[in-house]
């Protein structure tokens, strides 16, 4: 999902609100539109893209909005703004947002050393993913709810032999880090290698339920600020701190239940042989 020229179908030259391309030659999503559908592979790397209605990732498609610069023009910045809802359909991949240290922007010149740039991406409505292959969201602003139901790459951590994750050289995973969410953040029924929800500011409820990860360090739900309730149930592995060394408890204004309940102490970080487990730390504290 790297930078590239417009692919088989450049949205800016079409009367239809469709963006399409390939992994090798992504289409370019840029300019102002009503409703937009992504088919194939598209990138937001040609300046500001503003969708005044809804943005839908069709089954099997992919959108890469992990750029901070305008790679097409060679100057300026890139950003994605969706005033309505963003929908990620069966087998589709959404990668939106980037930030220094945790997930450097694709076109950050300093990416190899941790990066210095941060993406600028906004969704005014809800972000809903149903049976999506992956949702990767960093430093984004979502006005409504974020909900990921089912999907994933299955219970393995093998790098796929084709598609977006093959190009990235990465197992399939989903991740939410450093986002602002105006409503709820819910991830349920996911089957993938690894999933994390870290350092998000959520105004509604946070739910992690019925998820299964192949990575024993998966299912990291910590360091979030939650103005509502936090519920974590029936996850395999259970919610944990993972092997990172900088995790802190979730701060919850409402109630915290299940694997994220108040009073539950978990190793922070978990053992990562030969490194031993860290000190027992509450997974959630009252805000």
Residue 111, pLDDT above cutoff 50: yes
Kindly report which listed range (12-26, 121-135, 136-150, 212-226) carries the lowest average pLDDT score: 12-26
pLDDT confidence of residue 71: 97
**DSSP letter string over 210-225?**
S-EESSTT--EEES-E
For residues 113-130, give the mean pLDDT: 97
Query: For the segment 41-54, what is each residue's pLDDT rounded down to a tens digit?
Result: 999 999 999 999 99
Using pLDDT thresholds of 50, 70 and 90, give the confidence band for residue 244.
Answer: confident
- The residue with tokens 């809804």 is 54
- Is the per-residue pLDDT at 1 higher than 60? no
241, part of any domain: yes
Checking if the pLDDT of 11 tops 60, the result is: no
| Cβ-based neighbours of 93, under 8 Å, separated by 6 or more | 57, 61, 62, 63, 132, 133, 134, 135, 136, 164, 165
Residue 10 confidence (pLDDT) above 80? no
Share of the chain above pLDDT 90, in %: 91
Tell me: cis bond preceding 269? Omega within 30 of 0 counts. yes
Q: What is the DSSP letter of 283?
A: S
> Is 155 domain-assigned?
yes
pLDDT tens digits, residue range 69-108? 999 999 999 999 999 999 999 999 999 999 999 999 999 9
Count of the separate structural domains present in the chain: 1
Percent of the chain exceeding pLDDT 70 equals: 94
Which two three-digit tokens encode residue 147? 């909900």
Cα dihedral 131, 235, 65, 79, rounded to 10, equals 120
- Using only C-alpha atoms, the chain has a radius of gyration, in whole angstroms, of 18
- For the stretch 171-197, pLDDT in tens is 999 999 999 999 999 999 999 999 999
Residue 4 lies in a domain: no
pLDDT at 266: 98
Query: Given this model, what pLDDT does residue 134 score?
Result: 98
Q: Report how far residue 95's alpha carbon sits from residue 55's, in angstroms, rounded to the nearest whole number.
A: 14
pLDDT for residue 15 is more than 80: no
pLDDT of residue 284: 98
The pLDDT value given to residue 107: 97
Q: Is residue 184 part of a domain?
A: yes
**4 pLDDT higher than 80:** no
Instruction: Say what the pLDDT of residue 83 is.
Output: 97
77 is a domain residue: yes
Task: Please report which confidence band the pLDDT of residue 161 belongs to, taking 50, 70 and 90 as the band edges.
Answer: very high
Q: Quote the domain boundaries for residue 164.
A: 11-286
CA 212 to chain centre: 17
The whole-number pLDDT of residue 16 equals 58
- Which pLDDT belongs to residue 245? 82
3 within some domain: no
- To the nearest whole number, what is the mean pLDDT of the chain? 94
**5 lies in some domain:** no
Alpha helices in 27-71 (DSSP H): none
Whether the CB-CB separation of 27 and 9 falls below 8 Å is answered with yes
Percentages helix, strand, coil for the chain (3-state, rounded to 5) are: 5, 40, 55
């Amino acid at each position: 999902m790297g930078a590239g020229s417009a692919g088989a179908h450049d949205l800016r030259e079409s009367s239809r609100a469709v963006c399409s391309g390939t992994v090798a030659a992504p289409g370019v999503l840029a300019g102002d539109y009503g409703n937009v559908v992504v088919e194939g592979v598209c990138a937001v790397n040609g300046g500001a893209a503003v969708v005044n209605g809804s943005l839908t990732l069709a089954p099997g498609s992919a959108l890469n909005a992990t750029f901070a610069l305008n790679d097409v023009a060679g100057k300026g910045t890139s950003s994605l703004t969706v005033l309505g809802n963003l929908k990620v359909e069966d087998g589709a991949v959404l990668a939106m947002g980037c930030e220094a240290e945790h997930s450097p922007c694709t076109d950050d010149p300093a990416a190899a050393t941790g990066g210095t740039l941060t993406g600028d991406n906004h969704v005014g409505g809800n972000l809903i993913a149903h049976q999506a292959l992956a949702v990767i969201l960093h430093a984004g602003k979502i006005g409504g709810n974020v909900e990921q139901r089912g999907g994933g790459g299955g219970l393995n951590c093998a790098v796929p032999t084709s598609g977006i994750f093959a190009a990235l050289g990465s197992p399939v995973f989903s991740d939410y880090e450093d986002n602002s969410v105006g409503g709820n953040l819910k991830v349920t029924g996911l089957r993938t290698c690894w999933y994390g929800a870290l350092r998000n500011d959520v105004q509604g409820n946070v739910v992690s339920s019925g998820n299964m990860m192949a990575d024993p360090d998966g299912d990291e739900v910590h360091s979030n600020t939650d103005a509502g309730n936090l519920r974590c149930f029936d996850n395999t592995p259970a919610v944990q701190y993972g092997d990172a060394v900088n995790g802190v408890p979730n701060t919850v204004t409402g109630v915290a239940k299940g694997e994220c309940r108040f009073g539950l102490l978990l190793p922070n970080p978990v053992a990562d042989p030969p490194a031993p487990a860290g000190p027992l730390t509450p997974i959630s504290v009252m805000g």
